[in-house]
Amino acid sequence: MTVKQLGQRQLFTMKRKNLEARVIRYYNETKDSDSVVEYAVAILVRNALSIGGAFSDIFKDLIRSIFMEAEPSAALRQFMPYFQSYFSNDEWRALINRLFKNKSEYHHFKDNAKTNIRYLTPKNSTKTNEKTSFNLISVFFAADGKKHTWTLKDIDNSRKTEEIRALLKILSSLTILKKDDVRRFAQLVTFDIFESTHHTHFEEPQLETQAESAQNTPVKEKNTKKTTARSVASTAKAANNATSVNAGKTNSPKLTTQIVAKTSTVPPASDAQKLVNDPPAAQNPTTGRAAPHENSASKKNQPPITKNDTPLSGKANEPQKTSPKTSEGLFNKVRQLLRQ
């Protein structure tokens, strides 16, 4: 698998451990010494602008081996002055003789980098307020003449303007920072430093949603409860209708027989007919007891009541009064049967 080159996002946002591992892996698989040296220069700029010097001497052994063993190139000669602190005096003299044809060529590159080298050493500053940070927002021209913005967060605000300018101009000398093969940091335009303060943090409590509650309720149980409630209501309504009959009409034998069949054991045919023709006596509202029935002999001698006859009360079409306790008792029997 081919290892991709590291870009702007990796070089300026990754943490030291992961970044160092990525660069070493890239070199082991590609042996691209020029790109690795430029990666190191970009990280030196990031380290100098940031607080704490967290990237000091990153992959130092790899840089030493590249300058001492890799094939000499223009990139090695150009950026060699930035890494003098990685070598002893004797090693440095040996490198000059290995990479440069003469000392005048070496001094040419050293003089060009001399102004910027002194700013690459981090100040090892620390944060004075954990809730406050400073962000560097800079604008560069790309090689195609288009502007783009680059932001570096949490920088060392003790740096002077001239120091920051010199460090940013180092990025203009790098060729690795590209997009679609176009250099991104060709020329510095402007930069600003903004103070950022963490003012408030809020996190919404995670409550159980209605959808989750509905999923936890069994569907069958809800349907069963609804069916039972409808059945009880319908039966109770039928029972109340059966006990409230107009005086001019006789209770329907069919309906009365059905209600009695649901609430008690089915009586013989003669008893059922008697129950239809002889409805329960109304209770005395004062004593709460049922009024006594007339004897059967007197009932037989009474002429049958027709629609045009006047009831015993003397008032036509007056509805019979049914005791509230009788209706309540019938309703309780219905509920007991439903529970069984």
| pLDDT value at residue 249 | 43
Helix H or strand E segment including 130: none
Strands (E), the chain: 132-141, 147-152, 178-179, 182-183, 187-197
Tokens standing for 235?
Answer: 């039966």
> Domain locations in the chain?
8-197, 216-279+322-340
How would you write the pLDDT of the chain (340 residues) with one tens digit per residue? 577 889 999 999 999 999 999 999 999 999 999 999 999 999 999 999 998 888 999 999 999 999 999 999 999 999 999 999 999 999 999 999 999 988 899 999 998 888 888 898 887 666 666 778 899 999 999 999 999 999 999 898 889 999 999 999 999 999 999 988 899 999 999 999 998 887 788 888 887 655 555 565 554 444 544 555 565 556 555 555 544 444 344 444 444 444 444 444 444 444 444 444 454 554 454 444 544 444 444 444 455 544 444 444 444 444 555 555 566 777 787 777 777 6
| pLDDT value at residue 254 | 44
333 vs 340: CA distance, rounded Å: 11
| pLDDT value at residue 289 | 53
270 vs 284: CA distance, rounded Å: 28
Instruction: Give the closest residue to 87 by CA, choosing from 117, 60, 59.
Output: 60
Decide: residue 63, CB within 10 A, 0-12 exposed, 13-18 middle, 19+ buried.
buried
Instruction: Give the closest residue to 76 by CA, choosing from 85, 64, 91, 88.
Output: 64
Tokens standing for 48?
Answer: 């100098």
| pLDDT value at residue 115 | 80
52 vs 156: CA distance, rounded Å: 8
Tokens standing for 335?
Answer: 């509920």
What is the reported pTM? 0.58
Kindly report the CA angle at 80 between 75 and 85, in degrees rounded to 5?
155
Rg (CA), the chain: 51
Decide: residue 292, CB within 10 A, 0-12 exposed, 13-18 middle, 19+ buried.
exposed
Helices 161-171 and 103-117, packing angle to 10 deg: 130
